[in-house]
Structure 1
Amino acid sequence: MAKTLYGAQVVLRPPTADDIPVLAAIRARPEVHAVWRGGDDLVAAVTQDLADPDVTTLVIEHAGRTAGAVQWGEERDPDYRHANIDIYLDPEVHGRGLGTDAVRTLARHLITDLGHHRIVIDPAADNAAAVRCYTKAGFRPVGIMRDYERGPDGTWHDGLLMDLLASDLPASDVTAP
């Protein structure tokens, strides 16, 4: 079971059944749906995300309200072990640093508590706001993944692979094991 994590502005906590309609409503927002999609039944899509055994989803809470979700998965092969992160936020809270705080808080947990040495994230290459957010959290561009994902319009779009190494975290973010 995932534990609750505390950032400077956000709380990342395990989801409850009450979060499903709120997260579905956030996913229905045009700005979020364009990236996350999920079909016509977003309640089913969120429910499926929360039930996925290969992904851990945490609700992003700010000022006592659900503001989005952040999830992570991992490659368990010891020779390639690393974690990956994905996130969506209610557009009403964009531009306040909540995404950066959520990503940084989860990255710190994955590195200091779970022992990952590398974390990856893969925004659309043209998603300047996401790239800016992840850069502020310490991620660095690794390269362009050409024709990485199919967009809502059916055409292929490039993705940007970014990573964060444990050694990239500021010393203040790392706690001794």
Structure 2
Amino acid sequence: MELRGERVVLRPAGNGDAVILDRIVREPAVARWWSPPDDYTDMLAVTLGTPGGEVVGAIRYDEETDPEFRSAGMDIFLTTAHHGEGLGTDALRTLARWLIGERGHHRLTIDPLAANTAAVRCYTRLGFRPVGILRAYQRDHRSGAWQDALLMDLLADELT
């Protein structure tokens, strides 16, 4: 599977991507929001949209396949060298279009930490709306303290 956005390509992350993705997730501005995953092979590598493009991050999704609750969740991280360039928005929009158009989901969710205002702004630009605060939702892997998250959702016809 390869998904092409305007400026990024999403492709399955392979074992060869683990070193660079692990380095990215440990960058201080990324590590503030992400703990290093045990395995990157359940993610899609976010690459610059050129042949053999540079790996700049990863995106993942999960699906609820019960027909009565059909929906999907997403999450993303990018290297700080490319923050603020719109690559995250492009990657999320690309994955959202695939989840809605090809996988048949009518609703998408994302749950950034409430303090991650840059992520919340990005998701809002795509059309995600706040649903509510998930209190003491995620344990900070550095301090052990519980942190609140903001549950956001997007209906299929709201994707910008």
Q: Same fold (TM over 0.5)?
A: yes
Alignment of 1:29-68 (within 5 A): 29-38=27-36, 45=38, 48-50=39-41, 56-62=42-48, 63=50, 64-68=53-57
Q: For residue 23 of structure 2, what is the aligned residue in structure 1?
A: 25
Output the amino acid matched with 1:153. Answer: S
- For structure 1, which segment, 151-160 or 91-100, has the greater mean C-alpha deviation from structure 2 after superposition? 151-160
Pairwise CA distance, 1:142: 0.9
Cα deviation, 1:83-134, whole Å, max 9, x if unaligned, reads: 0001010011000011111001100000001100001000001100000111
Q: Which of 159, 162, 169 lines up with 2:159 in the alignment?
A: 169
Following the alignment from structure 1 to structure 2, what is the Cα–Cα distance between the partners of residues 139 and 4?
24
The correspondence of residues 70-109 of structure 1 with structure 2, limited to 5 A, is 70-109=59-98
Whole-angstrom distance in 1 between the partners of 2:18 and 2:144: 28
Gaps of 5+ in 2: none
Contact 2:2–2:12 under 8 Å retained in 1: yes
CA distance in 2, matches of 1:17, 1:159: 30
| Structure 1 contact 101–137 (Cα < 8 Å) conserved | no
d(CA) in 1 for partners of 2:109, 2:70: 11
TM-score w.r.t. length of structure 1: 0.83
Match for residue 9 of structure 1? 7
Using the TM superposition, give the Cα deviation of residue 33 of structure 1 relative to its aligned residue in structure 2, in angstroms.
1.8
Structure 2 match to 1:131: 120
Uncovered stretches (5+) of structure 1, i.e. residues with no partner = 51-55, 171-177
Matched letter for residue 16 of structure 1 = G
Identity among equivalent positions (%) equals: 50
Higher helix proportion (structure 1 or 2): 1
With normalisation by structure 2, the TM-score equals 0.92
User: Match for 2:154: what amino acid?
Assistant: L
Aligned residue type for 1:25: R
- Give secondary structure in 1 for the equivalent of 2:93: helix
Moved >4 Å (runs of 4+): none
1:156 corresponds to = 146
Give the Cα separation in 1 of the matches to 2:71 and 2:65.
7
Contact 1:68 1:88 in 2 (8 A): yes
Hey, what's the Cα distance between the residues in 2 that align with 1:49 and 1:57? 6
What SS does the aligned partner of 1:35 have?
coil
